[in-house]
Amino acid sequence: MKKILSIAMTLVLVLSLASCGGDAKKEEKPAESKKAEEKAPETTKAPEKEEKAEEPVEQMVFKMADNQPADYPTTLGDLEFARIVEEKTNGRIKIEVYHSKQLGEEKDVIEQVQLGAIDFARVSLSPMTEFSPSLAVLALPYIYSGSDHMWKVLNSEIGDDFLAGLSDSGFVGLTWYDSGARSFYNSVKPIKTVDDLAGLKFRVQPAELMVDMVEALGASPTPLNYGEVYSAIQTNVIDGAENNWPSYNTSSHYEVAKYYTLDEHLRVPEIVIASKSTLDKLSPEDVEIIKVAAKESTKLQRDEWNKKVEESKKVIADNGNEVIELSDEEKAKFAERMAPVWEKHAGDYKDIIEKIQAMK
């Protein structure tokens, strides 16, 4: 009896330590120690009470990474995903969301997910093209006529096939989130024509596709992590970058790059991924719950996205930034320059591209 009591007390202590360690909001661990953390899902067993022969319920705790802040639409989507999973498994599966790049910059996070050191992540499709090159089809400059067209494609068999195809690279693609359209901003001058980009230095996401795109426009690309962009613009290491309204706002890049040209060269969706090695350890029923929950969370994410776009436009207008609209003719000139990028990155996928274009 005494022995059982002392085992129970030790378990209670272990449990309370484990739950302290899992508090994503309060915890700020050095990146190194995070990387070295346990790869397998953390499992904790409820302490056995005295002689009672009840089957202990095993709780699984997983980590999910996002590089955007706590109130950003993607993080809100992640939290909704985690909430649905927890609800549908009666608390058996818990997903802790680490926002604001607490688990590292995007490309490192993707590598960690591939290795199974991080279980889930919400990332941009651009850096994913480095791990699964065919995804470039969905991130080609000017491939979509607008948001409706993009969502029609992502919600079709084409989108599902791309999610499923990720298993060859060690991921499970779960769902898509909105990321609007990306446009150029800079600290030097208002860009009104494609020729105005000549010679300017723009930060790009670390992906060959993005490097090639900026080169095709006659500008000079600098791949950098997202977290390094603000100070690089501020210190004139680069002249600007490109992103959607909510990122331009929440990263505070609008403070150091006041000219925003709405050329909308890219619609790169966000993607929610899981580590294949994590999901391989779960039952097919649990994997199904996770897949359905992720898809369900997209609705909330898209609603939050639309709100954040409006809020961001206001913040940027109130700051007195110069926002430059382009005519359809001028946008067409940007698009014409992209031919070599399409050829290099999607030359082998002409049939899928035709299908996408037929869905306009």
If binding is defined by CB under 6 A, does position 250 make contact with ligand GTR? Answer: no
* 39-47, 66-74, 328-336, 339-347 -> range binding ligand GTR (CB under 6 A): 66-74
Q: Is 305 exposed, middle or buried (0-12, 13-18, 19+ CB in 10 A)?
A: buried
**Euclidean distance between CA atoms 86 and 78, whole angstroms:** 12
Beta-carbon neighbour count of residue 170 at 10 Å?
18
Q: How far is CA 73 from CA 121, 220, 255, 301, 358, in A?
A: 14, 31, 21, 5, 30
Q: Give CA–CA dist 99/72, Å, rounded.
A: 9
* Distance from the Cα of residue 146 to its chain's centroid: 20
Q: Facing residues of 262 across strands? A: 325
DSSP track, 54-69? PPPPEEEEEEEEESS-
- Pick the binder of ligand GTR from 62, 162, 184, 226 (CB under 6 A): 226
129, 244, 275, 298: residue in contact with ligand GTR (rule CB under 6 A): 244
Nearest to 261 by CA among 277, 274, 248: 248
Q: Binding to ligand GTR by residue 205, rule CB under 6 A?
A: yes
Kindly state the smallest distance separating residue 229's Cβ from ligand GTR, in Å. Answer: 7
Phi then psi dihedrals of residue 52, to 5 deg: -55, 135
Least CB distance to ligand GTR at residue 180 (A): 8
The answer to whether 254 contacts ligand GTR (rule: CB under 6 A) is no
Residue 182 C-beta: closest distance to ligand GTR, Å: 7
Q: How far is the CB of 202 from ligand GTR (least distance, A)?
A: 11
Chain residue at closest Cβ approach to ligand GTR: 124
Q: Which stretch binds ligand GTR (CB under 6 A): 25-33, 83-91, 112-120, 243-251?
A: 243-251
Contact 173, 164 (CB under 8 A): yes
Footprint on residues 257-316 left by ligand GTR (CB under 6 A): 270
User: What count of Cα atoms within 13 Å lies in the side-chain half-sphere of residue 89?
Assistant: 27
Task: Tell whether residue 67 is a contact of ligand GTR (CB under 6 A).
Answer: yes
Site for ligand GTR in 99-118 (CB under 6 A): 106
> Of the two residues 186 and 205, which places its CB atom closer to ligand GTR in the complex?
205
Selected from 102, 114, 247, 278, the binder of ligand GTR by CB under 6 A is 247
Q: How many residues touch ligand GTR (CB under 6 A)?
A: 13
Helix or strand (DSSP H, E) at 3: helix 2-21
- Under 8 Å CB-to-CB from 95, ≥6 apart: which residues? 61, 62, 63, 64, 78, 81, 82, 85, 86, 119, 120
59 binds ligand GTR (CB under 6 A): no
**3-state DSSP of 322-360:** EEEECCHHHHHHHHHCCHHHHHHHHHHHHHHHHHHHHCC
Nearest-approach distance from CB 244 to ligand GTR, in angstroms: 5
The distance of closest approach from Cβ of residue 24 to ligand GTR in the complex, given in angstroms and rounded to an integer, is: 18
Q: To the nearest whole angstrom, how small is the minimum distance from the Cβ of residue 266 to ligand GTR?
A: 10
User: Which lies closer to ligand GTR via its Cβ, residue 67 or residue 114?
Assistant: 67
Q: Which of 102, 112, 129, 179 binds ligand GTR (CB under 6 A)?
A: 179
Read off the tokens for 328: 């359809």
- 124 scored as a contact of ligand GTR (CB under 6 A): yes
User: Would you tell me which residues interact with ligand GTR (CB under 6 A)?
Assistant: 67-68, 74, 106, 123-124, 179, 205, 226, 243-244, 247, 270
